[in-house]
Amino acid sequence: MTAPVPVTRRQYGGRMELGGPLRLGRRTFGPTEPVVMAIVNRTPDSFFDRGRTYALDAALDRVDQVVDEGAGIVDIGGVKAAPGDEVSADEEARRVVELVERVRERHPDVVISVDTYRAEVGELVCRAGADLLNDAWGGWEPELAEVAARHGVGLVCTHAGHLPPRTRPHRVQYDDVVADVISTVVGLAERAVSLGVRADAVLIDPGHDFGKNSRHSLEVTRRLGEMVDTGWPVLVALSRKDFVGEALDLPTDDRLEGTLAATAVSAFLGARVFRAHDVEATRRVVRTVSAVQGSADLVVGRRGLA
């Protein structure tokens, strides 16, 4: 296949100022403020939580917990990413719309994101109070960006290897995986802005493990700075994924340390938003990276002062 031309800051810097604020819902996140996006799945079969938050009350309790732990964004999903039982748009909406409404009532200032690739579901959750549409399948339904524009909400533009939703990659190859990622997500971001989505409400996501083998995901991680240099805020969804498991030969439940290592690398390279199951641990890691970089001060300073 022919490698896409890499996108550079020079080409796109005029559209989205590098390091500018991110504005979602009632929140404005500063240029050096890392944001944890907590995962809350109303699914009976997700790979990590395995249905623990499928019941509405359990999902609401989980939202309360992650907000207390410092999540700035709550990402609600009604369909697992992997292959499995068919979930209709009506069923997906049944799982997520009421939860969005209830979270909006309980936490008026938290940013509510919904992980969906369907424009029909996007329309309903925006009416219910969502602030962000997390399109993890790379614009599979291009109308979803139009929904985001119409409702004035944000949009996550993800690289999913040009595969249909809920499809696992099979012997996927790229001449240059990072070039393909950047060309795809910046194209989606530019299209979203052209439709009326605010530039400061658009994020790009390399889509770790989506349309990629583990070596691709590792390469995307170590070259994440190239995505950051496009000027668009970068979201990473690393939590307990297969590339971490294959780097360590560990099952899902034992991938926390590997996830946090990849999180620290991504934070140091400039990622802004971190989608995570383990909110408090992730928040501590990215806060420490900010302190090392000098973009955040100490919370308390005692050593050597007394």
Query: Do the beta carbons of residue 106 and residue 64 sit within 8 Å?
Result: yes
Tell the residue number behind the tokens 């307990």, with chain if given.
Answer: 240
Tell the residue number behind the tokens 């992650």, with chain if given.
Answer: 66
* Cα separation of the two ends of the chain: 63
Tokens standing for 173?
Answer: 């190859």
Q: For the chain, give the number of residues.
A: 306
Note if 212 is an active site residue. Answer: no
Cβ neighbours of residue 114 under 8 Å, at least 6 residues apart? Answer: 75, 76, 77, 78, 96, 100, 121, 122, 125, 130, 132, 133, 134
Tokens standing for 272?
Answer: 């802004």
Tokens standing for 42?
Answer: 């109303």
Note if 275 is an active site residue. Answer: yes
- Inter-CA distances, 237 with 116, 204, 265, Å: 15, 11, 13
Helix (H) or strand (E) holding 102, with range, is helix 89-106
- Alpha helix (H) residue ranges in 13-51: none
Query: Do the beta carbons of residue 250 and residue 239 sit within 8 Å?
Result: no
Cβ neighbours of residue 194 under 8 Å, at least 6 residues apart? Answer: none
Query: Do the beta carbons of residue 135 and residue 156 sit within 8 Å?
Result: yes
Kindly name the residue from 241, 255, 272, 283 that is annotated as catalytic. 241
By annotation, the residues acting in catalysis are: 241, 275
